[in-house]
Amino acid sequence: MSPEILTVAMFVTLIAAITLGHPLAYTLAAVATLFGLIDNGGDVGAIFNMFANNTWGLMNNYVLVAIPLFILMAQLLDRSKVADELFETLFVVLGGLKGGLGLAVVVVCTVFAATTGIIGASVVAMGLLATPALMKKGYQKEMSAGIICAAGTLGILIPPSIMMVVYGGLTGMKETSVGNLFAGAIFPGLLLASLYFGYILIRCNINPQLGPPISKEEASKWTMAKKIRLTLKSLIPPMALILAVMGTILAGVATPTEAAGLGAFGALVLAAVNGKLNWTVLKESAHATMSTTAMVMMLFIGGKFFSTVFLSMGGGDVVADVLVGSGMNRWVVLLIMMSIVFLMGMFIDWAAILLVTVPIFMPIAMELDFNPLWFSILLCVNLQTSFLTPPFGYALFYFKGVAPEGYTMGHIYRGIMPFVLLQLIGLVILAIFPSLVTWLPGIFFGS
């Protein structure tokens, strides 16, 4: 059977299996096994050897040790209530502005994103913490849902990010090492946070009913000196943790894996300082870390096996011939690749998209003379939309699970649409100004 037919059939089978609701990790491995056997004439031994070698290679990847450590850090921070104290402070500091509470959510999520890379933790924590306050102050439901869902997804992009660790472990390239990816993602993450901030500020000043400020009486209870003192007090602990993790990586003092261990220890200390460290917290954090790590690694194994089989049967060459061999302008090819990733994000988990597309698209990007780090960050920013785009945006379901009564999926879907557009605008800005991605890695690593 020709590689062209196998390529089309493999993707059609994968889409059909996902549509039927089968677990993604096992679906990827099963489809890979089926088409691997078809391609090699039913040689079970060869397929088994390929699967075993892939799995062994992943288990030997030192970079991936950072995944459970960063997840543990996120779980401990979620239970240490660092975000709660910061939001309560910013509630006072920014609440007097139109849309001020929404701005507070964006700031808290940005800081929280820089200490953890778990979307579920950010969206659920802010959904429980901020939604009642936003409702009490009269914020429009769509605006509230959009702010929390969009700002909560910053954690997958702003380092330390689990997605960047997976990406760096997947490519194994110096240009796309975890350190370079972390440095390259800082400005894009802050760019998206700034776009959200500006949008909320402008929309709520045009139409104050979307996000009214707190009353003047309530705002006047706090002097400027007290506001500054409260802000510093609530910001110092998370900023110290960010410095411990990102500072050691960017300074070249520690590898991402070592920094992840330092971050987990720092989160443990913060939980103890806040009086939240006990046996229950440790047990729940460890259990959640184990479950999440197992899920990520199973996706990694299934996705890696799928991409290996796909490339071995010539699927990568087929896609490259269609995109590169067609003679299209390289920017058109980039647009097509980004459109494929965006559409896949509506239906498939980000980890599976990375594992399927990166081995195919990265060689094409290199052949088209795109900077590999810049291309990688574009792809990761694009993948952030997968958490917001219906019908299967995870952030939407996380928020719906904790939203107060009265929030419908209609409110949530309408609320996130402007923020998806802002993410795409951010993607275009990064495409036009690649130095936003490449400048910081060049400073720290000479990349």
pLDDT tens sequence across 357-374: 888 899 899 989 999 999
For the chain, what percentages of helix, strand and coil (3-state, to nearest 5) are there?
80, 0, 20
In tens, the pLDDT along 172-191 reads 788 888 889 999 999 999 99
How far apart CA 446 and CA 29 sit, in angstroms, is 38
Sign for the CA dihedral angle at 42, 43, 46, 47 comes to positive
Separation between Cα atoms, residue 237 and residue 267, nearest integer Å: 10
Q: Over range 18-43, report the average pLDDT.
A: 83
Instruction: Return the residue matching tokens 């990586």.
Output: 249
Check: CB of residue 29 under 8 Å from CB of residue 302: yes
Q: Provide the residue type at 409 as one letter.
A: M
pLDDT higher than 60, residue 41: yes
402-405-408 Cα angle (round to 5): 85
% the chain with pLDDT above 70: 96
Amino acid at 385: T
Q: What is the pTM of this model?
A: 0.85
DSSP 160: S
Q: Which residues contact 211 (CB under 8 A, 6 or more apart)?
A: 98, 99, 100, 101, 102, 134, 137, 139, 140, 143, 200, 203, 204
Mean pLDDT, rounded, of the chain: 84
Binned at pLDDT 50, 70 and 90, residue 218 comes out as low
Q: How far apart are CA 257 and CA 271, in angstroms?
A: 21
H-run or E-run covering 137:
none
User: Residue 198: pLDDT band by 50, 70, 90 thresholds?
Assistant: very high
Q: List pLDDT tens digits, range 278-287.
A: 888 889 888 8
Mean pLDDT lowest among 1-10, 63-72, 78-87, 218-227: 218-227
Least trusted range by pLDDT, from 56-60, 145-149, 157-161, 423-427: 56-60
Give the pLDDT confidence of 81-129 residue by residue, as tens digits.
Answer: 776 777 777 777 777 788 888 898 898 888 878 776 667 667 877 787 7
Q: Say how far apart CA 244 and CA 242 lie, in whole Å.
A: 5
Q: Which of 272, 265, 268, 232 is nearest to 248 (CA)?
A: 265
Residue 200 neighbours by CB distance under 10 Å: 28
Interatomic CA distance for residues 280 and 257, integer angstroms: 26
- pLDDT class of 219 with cuts at 50, 70, 90: low
Q: Is 161 exposed, middle or buried (0-12, 13-18, 19+ CB in 10 A)?
A: buried
Residues in the chain: 447
240-295 pLDDT tens trace? 888 888 888 888 788 888 888 888 898 888 888 878 888 888 898 888 888 878 87
